[in-house]
């Protein structure tokens, strides 16, 4: 209405202005010429205000034409038949011109609107192709901005009831939400207080299955928007269905992985527990039944066996607790200067019963810098690597622990004389419960060692030892100097 009023005013003023400009030269121009010039107000009015404003402009031009350029002047009286013909022709031609200009203007506006709508649809389609977890909020915000809608809300079924999962602009009230129906494709008037909102719902369905509702509050009634929204609703439904399928697929993969790990954990733990428990059971039963008849040497051997297997169970339980800390994110690193010689000695002391008479050679420079590390975590790393080497090294062969310092970094290597680790298995050996084609499997110890070393910001790897066997190597930073200098 405002546009029509402005256009009508422009047409009237333009007709008066053009008439006033031609009035001084009225005696020098023909009546038909004046009619042609008065086309200008009509075109101006139509362009600004549309068809209705164009009719007002035609009427204004008609009055100016009759009043100032048709004899007798300054009256609305028409003298001769020729003058009547001129006025009628002017009115008919100007009406046709107004209609044509209005039609062209409307066609141009519609084309511009369709082009803008197509661009918005393209942008929204590209957005719907993304795999963002925040797809709903991003889409409703884009729809609101693209089509200038007061409020856009995405409603989906949550636990059997409709809930607003994403909203942009003016949200719908709980009362309005309770009155929504999936089949309500047409605008539904809902009154809230003193104001009246027009709520339009678009059902979102993919492959015949409902996936939600798109709720529009006070949506524009233009034809371009009405044509674009159903197309957009289809694209949105497909995108939501795709996201839901991806989530279900991810959940299924996660459940499969959890089941695989559970089976591997149960198998590995049952195997690791069965051997020491069976050994302890046999030794304790023998002591209970025959302690009085066994020689002192056999008694000592049985006691040592129980002690070794109890230590093995303790290490297994500690590894399980450490793995729980790692998986729950509760692992904390408390760095302080630590002497690697002392950590190696403590690890060897804890494995004394398991190592037995095996020789462990420690090779380290005399002036060995301290490490900037958590002593408890690195002590567990050393214990796990030494225990792994002891289990895989042939009887009677030594284990070598070599420590070197270079460039502000300490390198610790544990060598055995066993079968070694094939190149294709050197990455997977640090994972939990992986079975290899060679028949072996990884456990918890090496995975924990890797997690503890990487928690310090360093790395661990396995390579072939110089004399054959496996060589597990990890690095640590040197401790900062006592004078408070920068940490390496």
pLDDT digit string (tens) for 81-104? 777 887 788 788 888 887 887 778
pTM of the full structure:
0.46
pLDDT at residue 266, rounded to an integer = 62
pLDDT at residue 370, rounded to an integer = 93
As a whole number, mean pLDDT of residues 285-292 equals 83
pLDDT digit string (tens) for 433-444? 555 444 455 567
123: which 2 tokens? 């942008």
* pLDDT band with cut points at 50, 70 and 90 for residue 212: confident
As a whole number, mean pLDDT of residues 135-140 equals 74
- Asked if residue 472 has pLDDT above 90, the reply is yes
Count of C-beta atoms within a 10 Å radius of residue 179 = 12
* Distance set, CA 99 to CA 41, 104, 328 (Å): 14, 9, 75
pLDDT at residue 193, rounded to an integer = 41
pLDDT digit string (tens) for 339-350? 999 999 999 988
As a whole number, mean pLDDT of residues 186-214 equals 62
pLDDT digit string (tens) for 332-341? 888 999 999 9
46: burial class by Cβ within 10 Å (0-12, 13-18, 19+)? buried
Of 139-143, 378-382, 478-482, the range with the highest mean pLDDT is 378-382
pLDDT at residue 123, rounded to an integer = 64
pLDDT top residue among 174 and 337: 337
Q: What is the DSSP letter of 29?
A: S
pLDDT at residue 326, rounded to an integer = 66
Least confident of 30-39, 163-172, 195-204, 460-469: 195-204
Average pLDDT, the chain: 78
What share of the chain in percent tops pLDDT 90? 15
pLDDT top residue among 268 and 391: 391
**Three-class SS state of 59:** helix
Q: Which domains does the chain have, with CATH numbers?
A: 2-112 (no CATH), 133-250 (3.30.450.40), 332-477 (3.30.565.10)
As a whole number, mean pLDDT of residues 152-161 equals 74
* pLDDT band with cut points at 50, 70 and 90 for residue 230: confident
**Three-class SS state of 472:** strand
Q: What is the dihedral of CA 124, 128, 129, 132, to 10 degrees?
A: 120
432: which 2 tokens? 């939990």
3-state helix, strand, coil in the chain (%, to 5): 60, 15, 25
Strand 209-217's sheet: what is its strand order? Answer: 161-169, 151-158, 209-217, 195-206, 188-192
**C-alpha closest to that of 416 among 363, 364, 360, 475:** 360
Q: Are 46 and 10 in contact (CB under 8 A)?
A: no
- Asked if residue 312 has pLDDT above 90, the reply is no
**Three-class SS state of 1:** coil
- Asked if residue 413 has pLDDT above 90, the reply is yes
200: which 2 tokens? 């339009």
* Distance set, CA 129 to CA 126, 214, 231, 376 (Å): 5, 18, 15, 49
55: which 2 tokens? 């009719």
**C-alpha closest to that of 418 among 464, 355, 361, 352:** 464
* pLDDT band with cut points at 50, 70 and 90 for residue 485: very low
pLDDT top residue among 147 and 470: 470
- Asked if residue 189 has pLDDT above 50, the reply is no
Q: Are 431 and 450 in contact (CB under 8 A)?
A: no
As a whole number, mean pLDDT of residues 230-251 equals 76
- Asked if residue 400 has pLDDT above 90, the reply is yes
pLDDT at residue 443, rounded to an integer = 63
């Amino acid at each position: 209405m405002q546009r029509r009023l402005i256009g009508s005013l422009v047409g009237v003023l333009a007709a008066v202005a053009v008439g006033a400009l031609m009035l001084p030269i009225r005696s020098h121009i023909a009546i038909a010429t004046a009619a042609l010039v008065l086309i200008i107000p009509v075109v101006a009015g139509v362009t600004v205000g549309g068809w209705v404003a164009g009719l007002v402009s035609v009427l204004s031009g008609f009055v100016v034409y009759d009043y100032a350029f048709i004899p007798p002047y300054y009256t609305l009286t028409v003298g001769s038949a020729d003058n009547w013909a001129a006025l009628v022709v002017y009115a008919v031609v100007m009406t046709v011109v107004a209609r044509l200009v209005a039609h062209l203007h409307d066609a141009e506006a519609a084309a511009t609107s369709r082009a803008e709508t197509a661009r918005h649809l393209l942008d929204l389609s590209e957005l719907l192709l993304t795999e963002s977890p925040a797809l709903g909020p991003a889409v409703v915000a884009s729809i609101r901005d693209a089509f200038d809608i007061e409020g856009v809300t995405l409603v989906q079924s949550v636990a059997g009831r409709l809930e607003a999962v994403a909203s942009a602009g003016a949200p719908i009230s709980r009362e309005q939400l309770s009155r929504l129906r999936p089949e309500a494709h047409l605008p539904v008037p809902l009154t809230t207080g003193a104001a009246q909102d027009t709520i339009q719902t678009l059902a979102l369905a993919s492959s015949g299955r409902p996936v939600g509702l798109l709720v529009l509050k006070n949506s524009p009634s233009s034809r371009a928007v009405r044509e674009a929204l159903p197309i957009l609703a289809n694209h949105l439904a497909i995108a939501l269905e795709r996201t839901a399928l991806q989530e279900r697929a991810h959940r299924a993969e996660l459940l499969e992985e959890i089941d695989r790990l559970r089976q591997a954990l149960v198998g590995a733990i049952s195997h690791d527990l069965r051997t020491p428990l069976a050994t302890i059971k046999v030794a304790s039963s023998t002591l209970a039944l025959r302690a009085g008849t066994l020689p002192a040497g056999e008694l000592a051997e049985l006691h040592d066996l129980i002690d070794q297997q109890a230590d093995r169970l303790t290490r297994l339980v500690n590894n399980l607790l450490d793995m729980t800390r790692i998986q729950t994110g509760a692992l904390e690193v408390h760095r302080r200067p630590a002497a690697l010689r002392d950590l190696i000695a403590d690890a060897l002391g804890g494995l004394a019963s398991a190592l037995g008479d095996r020789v462990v050679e420690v090779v380290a420079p005399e002036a060995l810098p301290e490490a900037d590390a958590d002593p408890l975590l690195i002590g567990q790393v050393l214990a796990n690597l030494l225990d792994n080497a002891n289990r895989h090294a042939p009887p009677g062969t030594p284990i070598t622990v070599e420590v070197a310092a270079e460039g502000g970094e300490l390198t610790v290597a544990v060598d055995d004389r066993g079968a070694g680790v094939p190149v294709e298995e050197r990455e997977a050996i640090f994972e939990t419960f992986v079975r290899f084609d060679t028949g072996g499997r990884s456990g918890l110890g090496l995975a924990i060692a890797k997690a503890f070393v990487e928690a310090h910001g360093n790395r661990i790897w396995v390579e072939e030892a110089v004399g054959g066997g496996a060589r597990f190597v990890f690095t640590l930073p040197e401790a900062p100097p006592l004078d408070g200098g920068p940490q390496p």
